[in-house]
Amino acid sequence: MGKSGWGMGKGQTRSQNCRIAPPEFEWRACESVVHDVGVGKIFNEDGENLSETKNPVLHSMPCKIYADDNANVNTYFKSYIKNIDDENFKSSFRGYPLQGKKISVPKGYMGVTFFEYKKPETDETERNIYATGTFTEFTYWNYDKIPSKNDALISALDWVDIAEALHSTENETTSS
């Protein structure tokens, strides 16, 4: 059993099942997400094979779930999602109250889910990580807290604009 993960990146991810070389990912989100790549999982409902989900609907959970398997997201989770207001949602996971918000992948970036069958035992060996699907938005869930700029993942998106500004060439310099 391999491991699945996700990321948001800029650059070409070519076609399905391409190898993603690390340099193509200029930006990665917060630590908890990176951490979850190793611990948590991409859930795929209806028992389908992960690699067949081209446009996954993603839910970022505020807890670690020590599993790497399909889950009954549709019936056990999605069926209970309710609107709080125009942009926030609420639901529950194992009795815990959750509040969530849809987050769009920044313009110019692409969300990619990927899968690695087996991590090579030595660092020298090239790793084969396969893109299994792409996404443009996901639902970010907090434990009993409305998602806001105080959340690391949401504020991490600031970096996209800052990086843009830092790396852009000054074409309209103000003369002083």
Partner 1 sequence: MWMCSRHKCSIRIFIAQAFVDNVVVNGLSTNDIIEKNFITKRDDLTTYFSKRDHSVNQVHQSKVPQICKDEPCQLGVDEAGRGPVLGPMVYGIAYAPLSQKQLLEDLGCADSKTLTEEKRDAIFDKMCNNDDKLGWAFDSISPNYIANCMYQRTKTSLNEISMNSAIGLIRKTIEAGVFITEIYVDTVGKPEKYQAKLVNLFPGIKIVVAKKADSTYPIVSAASICAKVSRDHALRAWQFLEGENDKEYGSGYPNDPVTKVWLANSIDPVFGFPQLVRFSWSTAEKLLQSSAIAVEWEDPDEDESEIKISKFFAPSLSNKSVKKKHNFFTNRCLFNATTL
3-state secondary structure (DSSP) of residue 75: helix
CA dihedral 163, 164, 166, 167 (to 10 degrees): 110
Shortest Cβ distance from residue 143 to partner 1 (Å)?
6
- Minimum CB distance to partner 1 smaller for 76 or for 117: 76
- Minimum CB distance to partner 1 smaller for 83 or for 122: 83
Give CA–CA dist 75/37, Å, rounded. 24
Give CA–CA dist 106/111, Å, rounded. 9
- Minimum CB distance to partner 1 smaller for 121 or for 172: 121
Shortest Cβ distance from residue 176 to partner 1 (Å)?
27
Short-list 71, 45, 65, CA closest to 57: 45
Shortest Cβ distance from residue 110 to partner 1 (Å)?
15
